[in-house]
Amino acid sequence: MSDSASAGEIELAPEDGGRDRLVGPAYWLAVVMGSAGVLLTVNQTFNLHMFGEPIIDTSFYYLLLGLFLSLAFLAYPARKADRLAIPWYDWGLFAAAIVATGYLAWHGGRIVAEGWDLAAPVEAITVAGVICLLALEGVRRAGGSILFVLCAVFAVYPMFADVMPGFLWGPGSSFADTISAHGMGVESIIGVPMRTVASLLIGFLVFGSALVVTGGGEFFMSLAIALMGRTRGGPAKVAVLSSGFFGSLSGSVISNVVTTGQMTIPTMKRVGYPPHYAGAVEACASTGGALMPPVMGAVAFIMAEFLNVPYSTVMLSAVVPALLYYGALLLQADHYAAKNGLKGQPAEEIPPLLPVLKKGWHFLFSLGLLTYLLLVMKQEALAPYIATAVLIGTTIVFGSKRFGLAGLRDLAIDATRNIVNIVAILAGIGFIVGSLSYTGVGGAFSRELLQFAGGNIYLLLVLGAITSFILGMGMTASACYIFLAITLGPALIGGGLNPIGAHLFILYWGLISFITPPVALAAIAAASIAKSDPWRTGIWAMRLGLINFVLPFLFVLNPTLILIGTPLHIVHDVTTACFAVWLLASGLEGWLYGVGAIGWLSRAALVVGAFGLLAPGLYTDLVGAGLLAVVYIGNKLWQRRPAT
């Protein structure tokens, strides 16, 4: 669930390096240790007491850290020259991670009872220092150089906080105290991000891997083709649906582009979409995956933890904005195809819908069960494990793809790779959370921002959007969100905004940089597959994703779009927002249903009308509806004019 980039190039898929290195003994170690980590998590989640006495949480977190962070040094190379082999020093780091975390897990009870994060034996401080160094190296390998530098700066920040100016000032800490706080405190390496991994994320990563190894990926791609493939511009619509689904499970924008994009982009080009447009569609669809329920990648779980609300609350709030975003993409793809006379895929490439459903109904059943357990039963921690067990059972009985011991092994290695990636990244991000908490700088930043805005909520939102966008450049969605949730979140909430809306605002603007030049990592990754100009692809991705620049301001100022308010207001505002998305797509692509191609003046009027419908208020709704009527009637009259 990560994306990363260095200053000069994109690391399209850090996981790919791991796939080449995890062979032989390393492969089997990953299978065994990953399975042990999942089993340990199941034991803790279901309170099974499989190992006798209950394991206290502190020891549990260190055990998970040891099992998965250690594997990061086998999966990810320290340098490109080691991409295909594991040198001796990586084995040394692997062993050091196991020994260091094992020591702290063994003393978990004493760490809590005796307050080792404040005063610990020299031996424990030394071990904590080793873990800090390993966590930094792990985030460098799995998350990239930009994230590593950020984590490293925050790791040492408490030692220099007392000499920093203005709101950056905080109480200083000694080297030993800083190491103890990071390595043995409950706010840093084993803080909120790591606790979220242990309590929620591992289960959903296992479920996502189960879908992959049981053939769910092929089924959902076939389903999207069966539903949309034969329509005009069908491949673009297939890309939107399939990438939205996969992105929701993985939360990884770049990985989503380079996996689904390998299939969708060439198909789009084959039916007539220009390379830059095909790349832009895939980039936007993949970027929105982290915003799409029911899973929403890693960030939604962390958001629920920060807000102290059930995950189902976050998921329900995110539904309408995500559907509006994907609705805009589908409409723009359809209007572009209509305007340019593009057809769907050839009939021989379209699988019949009923046989597709008959072959893969159990995937839909498992996903439906997961959603039911999340929304109705409120079982966020148990839901993915139950859904995974049902998925595997129904695949064995009803599935066309054989699933035996080899399938379990594939499930174990795929889930382990995903968990290793997220643990390595979030352990490093723990330094950011811990330092901002220990020094109090996070709260100070919020107070300064509120004072600077001077009570002007619109200025506060603009400043928040700019901050989120800049920090989102080259960072993972999780890292950007966690940092902003601590620093910017309290300021937005302190300004009187709805807490869930404020945190979704941060998430949306943190992801926008993936489709916006000059960074536009998703667009650049898609351009490399489409063989198009990266800058042009980025510009078109920004245009296709224009609704994403507007939505965060709307739902944070008008919470009815995140389903907060009276039923009547919610229905009204969601309905007008849907019409607004249609007008925006029509204006951007120059095509209006019932009229056909329209000129620039009509297009500009429809875009203005769309913003009128999006803005809350009766008068703005009347402006939007009036502009639509003028454009429609005017174009109809123009079409009926006598020929000269």
Q: Is the pLDDT of residue 15 over 60?
A: no
Same domain, 220 and 181: no
Kindly state whether residue 312 falls inside one of the protein's structural domains: yes
Percentage of residues in the chain having pLDDT higher than 70: 95
Look at residues 179, 194, 209 and tell me which one is the last residue of a structural domain: 194
Q: Does 490 reside within a domain?
A: no
Q: What is the mean pLDDT of the chain?
A: 89
The domain total for the chain is 3
Let me know whether 141 and 216 are in one domain: no
Which pLDDT belongs to residue 376?
Answer: 87
* 14 occurs within a structural domain: yes
Q: Is the pLDDT of residue 1 over 60?
A: no
Over range 433-442, report the average pLDDT.
89
Pairing of strands 4-5, 10-11: antiparallel
Type of residue found at 412: A
CB 547 within 8 A of CB 328: yes
Higher pLDDT, 98 or 2: 98
Out of 208-222, 277-291, 417-431, least confident range: 208-222
Domain shared by 212 and 305, yes or no: yes
What's the token pair of residue 553?
A: 């301001």
Structure token pair of residue 631:
């454009």
User: What tens digit of pLDDT does each residue of 540-560 get?
Assistant: 999 999 999 999 999 999 899
Specify the pLDDT at position 642: 64
Residue linked to tokens 């999340």: 374
Cite the beta strand spans of 531-613 per DSSP E: 591-592, 596-597
Please tell me whether residues 153 and 213 are part of one structural domain.
Answer: no
Question: Which range (56-65, 374-383, 563-572) has the least confidence?
Answer: 374-383
Let me know whether 99 and 211 are in one domain.
no
Q: How many CB atoms lie within 10 A of CB 564?
A: 16
Is residue 581 a contact partner of residue 548, using CB atoms and an 8 Å limit?
no
pLDDT band at 141 (very low <50, low <70, confident <90, very high): very high
10 forms bridges with which residues in the sheet? 5
Helix (H, G, I), strand (E, B), or coil: what is residue 432? helix
pLDDT tens, 580-625?
Answer: 999 999 999 999 998 999 999 999 999 999 999 988 888 899 999 9
pLDDT of residue 641: 63
> Is residue 7's pLDDT more than 50?
no
E strand or H helix at 389, and its extent? helix 383-398
Flag whether pLDDT at 102 surpasses 60: yes
Asked whether the predicted pLDDT for residue 196 surpasses 60, the reply is yes
Confidence of residue 250 (pLDDT cuts 50, 70, 90): low
pLDDT bracket for residue 18 (50, 70, 90): very low
Judge if 259 and 225 occupy the same domain.
yes
Question: Cα separations (Å) of 361 from 13, 17, 228?
Answer: 31, 34, 18
Q: How confident is the model at residue 251 (pLDDT cuts 50, 70, 90)?
A: low
List phi, psi (to 5°) of 85.
-145, 155
449 in a structural domain: no
More confident residue, 471 or 354: 354
| In-domain check, residue 121 | yes
User: Tokens for 268?
Assistant: 């789009």
Q: Please indicate, yes or no, if residue 465 is contained in any of the structural domains.
A: no
d(CA 50, CA 629): 68
Residues 220 and 145 in one domain: no
pLDDT at 151: 92
Say if residue 169 is in the same domain as residue 287. Answer: no
d(CA 231, CA 114): 66
Instruction: Answer whether 225's CB lies under 8 Å from 350's CB.
Output: yes
Give helix then strand counts, H and E, for the chain. 30, 4
Q: Hey, which of 310-324, 393-407, 434-448 has the most confident mean pLDDT?
A: 310-324
R_g of the chain computed on alpha carbons: 25
CA 72/CA 160 separation, integer angstroms: 30
Residue-wise pLDDT for 218-233, tens only, equals 888 899 999 998 899 9
Whether residue 233 sits in one domain with residue 190: no
What the block records as the tokens of 501 is 């809306």
pLDDT of 478 = 78
Split at pLDDT 50, 70, 90, the class of 643 is: low
Share of the chain above pLDDT 90, in %: 59
Same domain, 407 and 347: yes
Give residue 12's pLDDT band: very low, low, confident or very high (50, 70, 90).
very low
204 and 187 in a common domain: no
Token pair for 191? 């803080």
Gap between the Cα atoms of 121 and 55, Å rounded: 23
Last residue within a domain, chosen from 371, 398, 425: 425
pLDDT band at 467 (very low <50, low <70, confident <90, very high): confident
Q: Which of 425, 456, 478 finishes a domain?
A: 425
- Cα–Cα distances (Å) from 607 to 19, 442, 561, 591, 596, in that order, read 46, 39, 20, 12, 16
CA distance 511 to 548: 9
Please classify residue 393 by burial: count the beta carbons closer than 10 Å to its beta carbon, then call 0-12 exposed, 13-18 middle and 19+ buried. Answer: middle
- Would you state the pLDDT for residue 2? 46
Instruction: Note whether residue 135 is domain-resident.
Output: yes
Task: Please say whether the beta carbons of 163 and 495 come within 8 A.
Answer: no
Mean local confidence (pLDDT), 14-30: 73
Residues 6+ apart with CB under 8 A from 306: 192, 485, 489, 503
| C-alpha to C-alpha distances, 205 to 168, 248, 284, nearest whole angstrom | 37, 11, 23
> What was the pLDDT predicted at 519?
79
Q: Domain of 571? A: 566-644
Domain contains 538: no
Note whether 171 and 215 are same-domain residues. Answer: no
